[in-house]
Amino acid sequence: MSESDKPGALQDLDARLRRLKAQEHPPERAGSPASRSGYGFAMRLGVEIVAALIVGAGIGILLDQWLGTGPWLLIAFFVLGAAAGMMNVYRVVRGIGGAVGYRAGGSGPDQGQRSGGPGGTKPAGRRPPDDDEDA
Amino acid sequence: MADKHSPLSQFEIKTLVPIRLGETDISFTNSALVMVIAVVLVVLFLTIGSRRPALVPGRLQSMAELAYEFVGNLIRDTVGNEGRRYFPIIFTVFMFVLFGNLLGMVPYSFTFTSHIIVTFAMALVVFIAVTILGFVKHGMHFFSFFVPPGVSKVMWPLLIPIEILSYLSRPISLSVRLFANMLAGHTLLKVFAGFVPALGVAGVLPLAFVSALTGLEIVIAFLQAYVFAILTCLYINDALHLH
């Protein structure tokens, strides 16, 4: 790579930089650690469920204490929290990141990149592993 | 003695300078010390890196530019051009978490990102800021965020609470992810390191494993900072463009 860099070759450097920049831009570039180890992905799914459950149960307990309605709101919100957790997992797996709502496509800057999210939110194994592991 | 060698003793908060403000304990702890070190290092890294800007950058300048461009690209890819003005907060969060994670890899130091209260406070700041941003941008229309489109009204009483819970779970999943990764990784390192002296000659096996694990931990340090930053971007994107 770095052979032939005689000083004064700034023009050359400029040209090379421009060429590389042009190459770099095919839409799927960084930010898509597509098929990372399943560890991060599994971690993410687990965390999503647990987080929603914690929020649901927490709200249920607080409301119960406030309204004095026995265990009923806790039960209701626990179930709702579980549903929200499932929904989060579904979204992560579908690759629509942490988005609330269903937006199947279209909105946002571009759909392909948003799924380049953490922990390989893309359907795993779509691309051969590349070395952007440390992205 | 068992206390000293517990794999969890590394997470202990130690008071360095006791300070009391009325009833509240606001002592300067080892956690706070590492945070200050992280901030100082980030500032030094960026100022020294950009002190003598050269057309062909040196090592430090190159690293500083790399960090800048990395976050810049992240924002452009996830939020688009109007995300540019949120660059400062995202860059700050990213660098702070990254340096916190990496400083935690220094032996005898302290990993402040392994404490849920630290990560939760950061996640809560992001969450509240994003919610306010959503209200500022869209006013009351922001609530339409919780109404799934294309669903009959009969289902609304069920689906809207689920959406709201799902939204409220964001700061928790954001903070728990970072904290759990750091806590689990560092505990694992300590546990395996504890096997080394216990096994005598066979201790080379856990030693090799710990070496490999250290590399993995450094990758995770980068990855979790990246995840924290990208999720912040996604949340900002959601607040800017409701569906």
pLDDT tens-digit map of A113-125:
333 334 333 333 3
Residue-level pLDDT at A89: 87
**Contact criterion met (CB < 8 Å) for A118 and B241:** no
Work out the minimum CA distance from B188 to partner chain A, whole angstroms.
15
**Contact criterion met (CB < 8 Å) for A133 and B145:** no
Which of residues 6 through 35 in chain A touch B, CB cutoff 8 A? 10, 13, 30-31, 33
- Which of the pair, A113 or A61, is modelled with greater confidence? A61
Q: Taking the mean position of all CA atoms in its chain, how far away is CA B132?
A: 21
Residue B223's alpha-carbon distances to A73, B163, B195, in angstroms, are 38, 28, 27
Work out the minimum CA distance from A39 to partner chain B, whole angstroms.
11
Burial class (CB in 10 A: 0-12, 13-18, 19+), B94: buried
Residue A10 neighbours by CB under 8 Å, 6+ apart? B55
Residue B195 neighbours by CB under 8 Å, 6+ apart? B203, B206
What are the residue ranges of helices labelled H in B169-203?
A: 170-198
- Which of the pair, A65 or B241, is modelled with greater confidence? A65
Phi first, then psi, for residue B15 (nearest 5°) are -80, 125
Length of chain B: 243
Contact A97, A114 (CB under 8 A): yes
Length of chain A: 135
To probe the interface with A, which of B119, B165, B234 has the most A CB atoms within 10 Å? B165
Contact B96, B112 (CB under 8 A): no
Q: Does A80 touch chain B (CB under 8 A)?
A: yes
Structure tokens at B50: 């950009």
| Side chain identity, residue A51 | A
Tokens 């590389």 found at = A20
Tens of pLDDT along A77-93?
999 999 999 988 888 88
Residue-level pLDDT at A134: 36
What are the residue ranges of helices labelled H in A25-135?
A: 38-67, 72-94, 111-114
> What is the per-residue burial (b if ≥16 Cβ within 10 Å, else e) of B205-220?
ebbebbeebeeebeeb
Residue-level pLDDT at B27: 85
Residue-level pLDDT at A37: 56
Q: Report ipTM (2 d.p.).
A: 0.73
Q: Does A131 touch chain B (CB under 8 A)?
A: no
Residue A109 has pLDDT above 70, yes or no: no
Tens of pLDDT along A8-45?
667 888 888 888 877 765 544 334 444 445 677 777 88
Nearest to A48 by CA among A85, A102, A94, A78: A85
d(CA B188, CA A131): 25
Nearest to B173 by CA among B127, B216, B142: B127
Residue-level pLDDT at B141: 83
In tens digits, chain B (243 residues) has pLDDT values of 445 668 788 888 888 888 888 888 888 888 999 999 999 999 999 998 888 777 778 888 889 999 999 999 999 988 888 888 899 999 999 999 999 999 999 988 899 999 999 999 999 999 999 999 999 988 888 888 888 777 788 888 888 888 889 899 999 989 998 999 899 999 999 898 888 888 888 888 899 999 999 999 999 999 999 989 988 998 898 888 876
Structure tokens at B217: 């931990």
Residue-level pLDDT at A96: 56
